[in-house]
Amino acid sequence: MSQFEEVNVHGYEEFCQAIAERKGKDIFVYFSGNKDAEGKSWCPDCVKAEPVVRGEMSNLPDGSVFIYCQVGERTYWKNPNNDFKKNLKLTGVPTLMRYGTPQKLVEEECLKGNLVKMMFTED
Amino acid sequence: MAALRKAGFLWRRTGSLKFCRRNLTGTYDYDLVVIGGGSGGLACSKEAAQLGQKVAVLDYVEPSVKGTKWGLGGTCVNVGCIPKKLMHQAALLGTALQDARKYGWKISGEVSHDWCQMAESVQNHVRSLNWGHRVQLQDKKVKYLNLKGRLVDEHTVKGQSRTGKETVLTAKNVVIATGGRPKYPAHVPGAVEHGITSDDLFWLKQSPGKTLVVGASYVALECAGFLTGLGLDTTVMVCSVALRGFDQQMSGLVTDYMESHGTEFVWKCVPERVERLTSGVLRVTWTDSQTGREHKDTYDSVLWAVGRAPETTALGLDQLGVKVNQETGKIIVGADESTSVPNIYAFGDIGESRPELTPTAIKAGKLLARRLAGQSQQLMDYDNVPTTVFTPLEYGCVGLSEEEAERRLGKDGVEVYHAFYRPLEFTVAERDASQCYIKVVCERGGDQKILGLHFTGPNAGEVTQGFAMAVQCGGTYPHLLQTVGIHPTCAEEVVKVNITKRSGLEPTVTGC
């Protein structure tokens, strides 16, 4: 069983804080639309992709960090100038990214377990 | 022994007996193994997988002499077309900033360029392409192996990892698409030790500074072109002619433009040695082959662009009898990309007499995959392949050079229409358009079929692409005349050419 740290954050500031506190680590971030009181996200693809991504988490490298980041409500996300779009160049949710590298999977790509596994296991 | 032979196992006499790894049902690990994950290899393997074949692709980058290495995607993505075009664009933007002032933009102070920032952005884009290719292979179910492939026999490939670990794969068909790498003039003392090549240039973290580019291929001219455009002191050393193989009149226009726009040219000179001085700069000594005199100068960097050598030495080709051109080292291939050994194919830059271009490698790879999967008989058509040289004044062409057309049909069999024109955008910017020129080489008489089309000017690639289709369709000079131009553009001057070289009239376009 691999040893990794799971962190939950809400919004851009908390995300930046979590990153700043973990300099030098191999950080994977899963960006999802906010979940409501029942734990369901407004983003249907995020709902579908989450179990796929969670299913591959045993493949995360030892010592790595997995940040589950809820980006905000639907209206916040739809704004093309939101912090995630502006600063991280995110184009859609869900996005799974390996922070500081060009490795990312966007939207339908997150639904493919083999692609998620590839990101977690390859250099 | 005889009994085992009857069972269908292959024995090979190579000093020790080797087993061909087939399981008892006689199948191979893969339908297709592709050695080389560049433009050609990736296109071929993805197409084959989409057609239901079980495919593996081996990609491995031997670090350059300076230690530069890169990811999946081959020369084009990592050390060719992509970073080249981006840096060419960076240089053009520098020129545009100067033009902008004439168009009313108030740009205060000196404009300077930061190599580090540009390099990082370009390198990040390339890395995203490496990742994109990785995702595509995985998605299309192509097995990717970061191993250096070598042929053991016609159905067996051995892959070696960076740490030396070996993996054996068997395949019904093997395709070699390993491409080429820049050559060093190894006979020049200090060349290997102190010089760099295009493999290194795009990955430099610091500016190359004052640079000597040795060579006059499109690689040399394109690199020298953008280095000049970025504000670096750049010299090109040519031993004989520039852009060998291209139309020489057009080549002259390209180099004339570069010479009058800040690139220093040293013609008919040959480098003798390169030494590093205590200050760290490089001192290059060369001989002027016309006067016999020796010259010296110092540079921060020396870029060798003296040709590319095929990546065939470590493949084990001679052991298998795969025929190679002794002079070039490239694999001799048939019209169907076959080699002298059945079920081993080769295409892309590695093929003898093949164009060293990404689009031809991609197309040839896809067609090969279709033929191997039994889905098609179509062969790659290597005629009328358009291309563009992305020098500061770009040169786009499709079809034959004027010299080649005359070689084939005789001077009397060819009619050349030509025109010097001036891009509208150059007027206000007060830019020199002396080398902006169009040449349409046609059959004389008969249908007046267009044999070759040549264009120097801005956006030459964009201009030429559409005309390539016309040539593909057997376009004629009358077709050209029937085509209405789009105004105001540079491209419209192509459909308006009407002065022949034969007439001796001034081929300068008058304005509208």
State pLDDT tens for residues B56-86. 999 999 999 999 999 999 999 999 999 999 9
Mean pLDDT of B404-430: 97
Distance (Å, rounded) from C-alpha B449 to C-alpha B443?
5
Mean pLDDT of B197-207: 97
Residues from chain B contacting residue A118 (CB–CB below 8 Å): 134-135, 138
Burial class of B6 by CB neighbour count within 10 A (0 to 12, 13 to 18, 19+): exposed
Report chain A's mean pLDDT, rounded to a whole number.
Answer: 94
Name which of B74, B425, B387, B412 is nearest B247 in CA terms: B387
Strand partners, B168: B158
pLDDT for residue B498 is more than 50: yes
Name which of B360, B393, B396, B398 is nearest B379 in CA terms: B360
The larger pLDDT score, comparing residue B510 to residue B351, is at B351
Please state whether the peptide bond connecting residue B488 to the residue before it is cis, i.e. omega within 30 degrees of 0.
Answer: yes
pLDDT for residue B21 is more than 70: no
B125 is catalytic: no
The SS3 call for residue B268 is: coil
Q: What is the pLDDT of residue B511?
A: 59
Looking at the complex, report in whole angstroms how far the Cα of residue A39 sits from the nearest Cα belonging to chain B.
30
pLDDT for residue A76 is more than 50: yes
pLDDT for residue B161 is more than 60: yes
pLDDT for residue B18 is more than 90: no
Long-range contact pairs involving B203-206 (C-beta distance under 8 Å, separation at least 24): B203/B68, B203/B70, B203/B79, B203/B119, B203/B123, B204/B115, B204/B119, B205/B116, B205/B119, B206/B115, B206/B116
Which positions ≥6 away from B268 have C-beta within 8 Å? B238, B239, B240, B288, B289, B290
Q: What is the ipTM of this complex?
A: 0.90
Name which of B159, B203, B244, B186 is nearest B66 in CA terms: B203
| pLDDT class of B15 with cuts at 50, 70, 90 | very low
Mutation site for A-interface testing, chosen from B59, B61, B69, B131 by largest number of A Cβ within 10 Å: B131
CB contact under 8 A, B138 and A102: no
The SS3 call for residue A29 is: strand
Mean pLDDT of B395-411: 98
Residues from chain A contacting residue B120 (CB–CB below 8 Å): none
Mean pLDDT of B397-422: 98
Chain A residue with minimum CA distance to B139: A115
Q: What is the pLDDT of residue B255?
A: 98
Token pair 């264009």: residue: B455
| pLDDT class of A123 with cuts at 50, 70, 90 | confident
Q: What is the pLDDT of residue B110?
A: 86
Token pair 């080389």: residue: B36
pLDDT for residue B6 is more than 60: no
pLDDT one-digit tens code per residue, B125-160: 999 999 999 999 999 999 999 999 999 999 999 999
Q: What is the pLDDT of residue B20?
A: 47
Taking each helix axis as running N to C, give the angle between helix B39-50 and helix B115-139, from 0 to 180 degrees, rounded to the nearest 10. Answer: 20
Report chain B's mean pLDDT, rounded to a whole number.
Answer: 94
| pLDDT class of B335 with cuts at 50, 70, 90 | very high
Mean pLDDT of B298-306: 98
Burial class of A88 by CB neighbour count within 10 A (0 to 12, 13 to 18, 19+): buried
Distance (Å, rounded) from C-alpha B510 to C-alpha A79?
52
How many domains, chain A?
A: 1
| pLDDT class of B327 with cuts at 50, 70, 90 | very high
Main-chain phi, psi angles of A40, to 5 degrees: -110, 135
CB contact under 8 A, A102 and B128: yes
CB contact under 8 A, B138 and A118: yes
Q: Are B453 and B399 in contact (CB under 8 A)?
A: yes
CB contact under 8 A, A103 and B124: no
pLDDT one-digit tens code per residue, B341-392: 999 999 999 999 999 999 999 999 999 999 999 999 999 999 999 999 999 9
pLDDT for residue B23 is more than 80: no
The domain spanning residue A41 has which CATH number? 3.40.30.10
Label each residue of B31-87 as H, E or C: EEEEECCCHHHHHHHHHHHHCCCCEEEECCCCCCCCCCCCCCCHHHHHHCHHHHHHH
Strand partners, B32: B55, B173
Q: Are A27 and A19 in contact (CB under 8 A)?
A: yes
pLDDT for residue B462 is more than 50: yes
Q: Which domain holds residue A24?
A: 5-121
Strand partners, A64: A4
pLDDT one-digit tens code per residue, A2-37: 799 999 999 999 999 999 999 999 999 999 999 999
CB contact under 8 A, B127 and A102: yes
pLDDT for residue B285 is more than 80: yes
pLDDT for residue B510 is more than 70: no
Sheet hosting strand B499-500, strand order edge to edge: B387-389, B395-399, B450-456, B437-443, B414-420, B499-500
A103 touches chain B (CB under 8 A): yes
Mean pLDDT of B79-101: 97
| pLDDT class of A115 with cuts at 50, 70, 90 | very high
Q: What is the pLDDT of residue B313?
A: 87
Mean pLDDT of B299-306: 98
